[in-house]
Amino acid sequence: MKIAFIGLGNMGGPMAINLHKAGHDVSAFDLSKPACEKVAADGVRIAADAASCVSGAEVVVSMLPASPHVEALFLGNGQQPGLLPLLAAGTLVIDCSTIAAATSRKVAEAAKARGIAFIDAPVSGGTGGAIAGTLTFMVGAEAADLERARPLLEKMGANIFHAGSVGAGQTAKICNNMLLGILMAGTSEAIALGVANGLDPKVLSEIMRRSSGGNWALEKYNPWPGVMEAAPASKQYAGGFGTDLMLKDLGLAQENAMAVKASTPLGGLARNLYASHSLAGHGALDFSSILFSVQKKS
């Protein structure tokens, strides 16, 4: 299948490589040269710009930071024309970015008017899941459009959930990430408390992992440096899932909560914790660096 892949960052890069390795004809593009070079090293063809990337594509996959990027890419803004007029009727667009559900619905409507199917398919599983091809997809789509996307999603992920119509994948994703932000902050707090009392962070993490406090951060993404070799915490919090991206997701959750008058006290607290952490200059570090806000300075 002829696929255009736009956005080759921490997540999009390995996802594009997995589609290429599965034998698809992938043309890829990112505004960042280093991001393009990483993917090209695995044999993926890099296009000169977004317009040439989508030329002749049957499917377009996007993996961009936030709502304004996705809206500008497909609908255009003051600085750039959108891609939708360049796509043939019948093209399938799979947006894997985490963005506002309202933006997904807006782009999907404009796409539909041109005979193009647009679905939201945000992911969970981190960069490890993107590399291993074991991501979880939360899809908002008409059932028939999801069935068209499924064979490609299966090359990048292990779990594919149909959350509902367009936008529903994004709603599921922000519920999940609100919980993740809370869990990472709480896990950091618990380990820091133990260490302040002289406990070994590795031993304490293992105790909690196998006890009632067990959670994904303790299983796969420990925030304390040196506890898990592969976790961003053991690599100076480089790569992974940026603090500013988590802050964006917690903001989306709060906007959504206000719109439906939901009470999300811990989600609100978590958003403020990550906002302070970002203001302290840690926005580009992996979100597990939220540990700094509770770690005793030595």
What residues make contact with ligand NAD under the rule CB under 6 A?
Answer: 6-12, 29-32, 35, 50, 63-65, 69, 73, 97-98, 123-124, 126-127, 240-241, 245, 249
Which residue, 30 or 120, is less far from ligand NAD as judged by CB? 30
Does the annotation mark 248 as catalytic? Answer: no
CB of 50 to ligand NAD, least distance (A): 6
Question: What CA dihedral angle connects 92, 165, 183 and 272, to 10 degrees?
Answer: 90
Backbone angles phi, psi at 12, to 5 degrees: -60, -35
Which residue, 124 or 194, is less far from ligand NAD as judged by CB? 124
CB of 115 to ligand NAD, least distance (A): 23
Which residue, 64 or 204, is less far from ligand NAD as judged by CB? 64
> In terms of DSSP bridges, do strands 59-62 and 92-95 run parallel, antiparallel, or are they unpaired?
parallel
Which residue in the list 173, 220, 235, 296 is annotated as catalytic? 173
Amino acid at residue number 189: E
End-to-end Cα spacing for the chain:
55
Distance CA 63, CA 85 (A): 20
Largest CA distance in the chain: 64
Residue nearest ligand NAD by beta-carbon distance: 9
Distance CA 250, CA 217 (A): 17
Name the DSSP class of 26. Answer: E
CB of 149 to ligand NAD, least distance (A): 17
Name the DSSP class of 100. Answer: -
CB of 11 to ligand NAD, least distance (A): 3
CB of 10 to ligand NAD, least distance (A): 4
CB of 98 to ligand NAD, least distance (A): 4
Which residue, 50 or 218, is less far from ligand NAD as judged by CB? 50
DSSP string, 65-86: SSHHHHHHHHHB-SSSB-SGGG
Amino acid at residue number 38: K
Which 3 state secondary structure label does DSSP give 166?
A: coil
- Would you say 74 and 111 are in contact if contact means Cβ atoms under 8 Å apart? yes
Which residue, 16 or 92, is less far from ligand NAD as judged by CB? 16
Distance CA 298, CA 202 (A): 19
Which residue, 145 or 249, is less far from ligand NAD as judged by CB? 249
Backbone angles phi, psi at 161, to 5 degrees: -110, 135
Both tokens assigned to 117: 């199917």
> Whose structure tokens read 């206000």?
258
What residues are annotated to the active site? Answer: 173
